Amino acid sequence: MSQASPMLRPICLVKNVCGSLQVCTDAIEFLNGINQPVVVVSVVGLYRTGKSYLMNRLAGQQKGFALGNTIESKTKGIWMWCVPHPFEAGQTLVLLDTEGLGDIDKGDSKNDGWIFCLAVLLSSTLVYNSRGTIDNDTIQKLHYITEISEQIKIRSAEAGEEGDEDSQFVRFFPLFVWVVRDFTLSLEIDGNEVTEDEYLDFALQLKKASPDNMRRLENLQERDIVQGFLETTGRFCEYIFDKSPVKTLKGGHRVTGKLLGQLAQIYVETLSSGKVPCLDNAVVALANLENKAAVQEAFKVYKSGMEKVKNNFPVSVTDFTSEHQKFSKLATSEFMKCSFKDDKGDYLKQLVQDIDMCYVVLMEENEMASKRKCKGLLKDLFSEMNKRLQNVLGQLAQIYVETLSSGKVPCLDNAVVALANLENKAAVQEAFKVYKSGMEKVKNNFPVSVTDFTSEHQKFSKLATSEFMKCSFKDDKGDYLKQLVQDIDMCYVVLMEENEMASKRKCKGLLKDLFSEMNNDCRMVNTVSVEDIKSTAETEMSSLHKEKEKTALLEQKRKEEKEKHIESERMLEVEQERRQDRMKQKEEKVKKEMEQQQEEIKRAVESKVKEQEALMNKGFKEKAELMEDEIKI
């Protein structure tokens, strides 16, 4: 039994206290731990007919359900014993021993009707136990069964469906087994031997009441009686184990221990309120409870999965959406497995809403985590930039001091160009080191293929370029980047004369224009103090810094807009896939439920056809014609 400890002895499921029925809490708690399908076997019958003995034998025990040897009924209410099914793995056998009907101490037949009604509603196999022979008096005592349509309703009053409800009972009535204790008549009809079922069918034929003159006791030795009794009891147990089906609800949904406990509570509350139990209403009430639990369990599947993703925040939008889609699909599958009768899809919609709300919250948390990480990276980046800026300002001040000391007139453009030359030269050296150190590792593995050598050259050339871009500034014309490329190319090949000459010619023209502009600016400058020069340099560097920041922010904004657009398209695709998956699972579930309902209808029609044929064979034409009308309905 799934998630339930073995039940060593029976416990009370429904108490009968002073004519009032009460569900026992400890029994419900035990049933809540059984998530397997259950085969429920109930035994009913007059008090002191040996019902408890039969249930002990089904449980494979000598003791368990209380036995007595007086005319006082020992079993009060309904007692339950849950054991593993001896024939079917993954199923639990639930044995229900009911209070004896017709106990002289009760004095109220209504109480008997409640007990019998609960046994019918909760069981998948109903065992009716009696003693002696099957005669007219015995059949008359079956009024609890013949009056069952007055005790139980199939459809609710709101359903608005008309028709003979009696014809519907065969679809939902449990498997019926009649056990006759101490049967001493020969199984013969008109001198011909017959089976137990054929004899029962003969005894139940429509006929006028007749005096009880059928009993004929035979004198048998005790040893023979005991041996035969034990053999018959063994055959009874094997029949129950082999033929008893799993308890199902209207629509074919298999009942677990948890559902059985909820059914018991619903039916007891209905009977205690004086109302007639209705299968439709019970299924709807149970479906509401079960579907709410299914939504919660399915949401747990999604949330527990996304919690693992949350532990790795921040993650990319693609990875986050992929994980969301995966666990959303698992949650939907879990819901479909646990839910039933969600025909309008209300509970599935509730699950989708819960998942979507959680998704939005987690997405915001992932975005916040991403922002915190980016702020940390920017903080480190600006710290490094400030260090470089202080170094640059120191070099700039040194350039201005040296210019003034030599008696020349300081020029702002010249100072920036000179500073840029120093920084960019250093940037070229650092970038070339990256390339050279990387290629040194490749060199240690010589010889290597031309493809591998070229691939490594491209890899470290790209890394070197990135390093240069990070350290350089004011290389507007790309002179120093070209120098880096030349150094790398010279390291990669021996001669690049044509490219080097073209680079020199271009650089000369650019330098001529630059020096011409610089000379014009120098003529306009008279004399400038060191402090003014330093202040101007700081202003210039600050402007350069802001310009870089503005460019970076614009680029970042462009990337964000592009990512949001991609994310929106991806989300639309994901939602379409989720919707298609939900529809597919819903269609499969509806198809399965329709097949189960068709099986129920088929079983009911076959039963009615068989009964009609039997009546026709025995001359009850009028009754058979009424039966045919029921089959058509």
**C-alpha atoms less than 13 angstroms from C-alpha of 509 in its C-beta half-sphere:** 6
Mean pLDDT calculated for residue range 502-513: 59
Residue 223: predicted pLDDT: 46
Angle at 114 between CA 111 and CA 116, to 5 degrees: 110
Tracing tokens 């001091």 back to the chain, one arrives at 401
Mean pLDDT computed over every residue of the chain: 75
> Who has greater pLDDT, 7 or 497?
7
Domains and CATH numbers, the chain: 11-152+175-264 (3.40.50.300), 391-556 (no CATH)
Residue 259: predicted pLDDT: 92
For residue range 414-472, what is the model confidence (pLDDT) as tens digits?
A: 656 666 777 788 888 888 888 878 877 777 777 767 677 777 778 888 888 888 887 77
Angle at 169 between CA 166 and CA 174, to 5 degrees: 150
For residue range 271-284, what is the model confidence (pLDDT) as tens digits?
A: 888 888 888 888 88
- Show Cβ contacts of residue 614 under 8 Å, excluding neighbours closer than 6 positions: 201
Residue 212 clears pLDDT 60, i.e. is over it: no
Q: Give the SS3 label for residue 186.
A: coil
Q: Which of 7-21, 91-105, 527-541, 600-614 has the lowest mean pLDDT?
A: 527-541
Which among 295, 301, 293 has a CA at the least distance from the CA of 261? 293
Q: Give the SS3 label for residue 42.
A: strand
Are the beta carbons of 49 and 67 closer than 8 angstroms? no
Residue 141 clears pLDDT 50, i.e. is over it: yes
For residue range 563-613, what is the model confidence (pLDDT) as tens digits?
A: 777 767 776 777 777 778 777 877 787 777 777 777 777 776 777 677 667
For residue range 331-369, what is the model confidence (pLDDT) as tens digits?
A: 999 999 888 888 889 999 999 999 999 999 999 999 999
Which among 41, 24, 28, 25 has a CA at the least distance from the CA of 92? 41
Q: Which of 138-142, 315-319, 408-412, 552-556 has the lowest mean pLDDT?
A: 408-412
Residue 13: predicted pLDDT: 95
Residue 160 clears pLDDT 70, i.e. is over it: no
For the chain, give the percent of residues with pLDDT over 70: 64
Pairing of strands 11-17, 20-23: antiparallel
Residue 217: predicted pLDDT: 28
- DSSP for 518-531? HHHHHHH-----HH
Q: Which of 110-124, 214-228, 407-421 has the lowest mean pLDDT?
A: 214-228
- Band (pLDDT 50/70/90 cuts) for residue 330 is very high
- Band (pLDDT 50/70/90 cuts) for residue 225 is very low
Mean pLDDT calculated for residue range 517-535: 59
Are the beta carbons of 250 and 283 closer than 8 angstroms? yes
For residue range 28-39, what is the model confidence (pLDDT) as tens digits?
A: 999 999 989 999
Q: How far is CA 561 from the centre of its chain?
A: 35
For residue range 171-210, what is the model confidence (pLDDT) as tens digits?
A: 678 898 988 865 544 555 555 666 666 655 544 443 433 3
Angle at 141 between CA 135 and CA 146, to 5 degrees: 110
Give the full edge-to-edge strand order of the sheet including 175-181: 20-23, 11-17, 78-84, 92-98, 38-45, 125-131, 175-181
CA distance 163 to 168: 9
As a three-state string, the secondary structure of 369-383 is HHHHHHHHHHHHHHH
* Cβ burial 521-537 (10 Å sphere, 16+ → b, else e): eeeeeeeeeeeebeebb
- Band (pLDDT 50/70/90 cuts) for residue 320 is very high
97 forms bridges with which residues in the sheet? 43, 79
Longest dimension (CA), the chain: 147
Residue 522 clears pLDDT 60, i.e. is over it: no
Extract the tokens encoding 80.
């339950």
- Band (pLDDT 50/70/90 cuts) for residue 391 is low
* Highest mean pLDDT out of 12-26, 212-226, 451-465: 12-26
Residue 9 clears pLDDT 60, i.e. is over it: yes
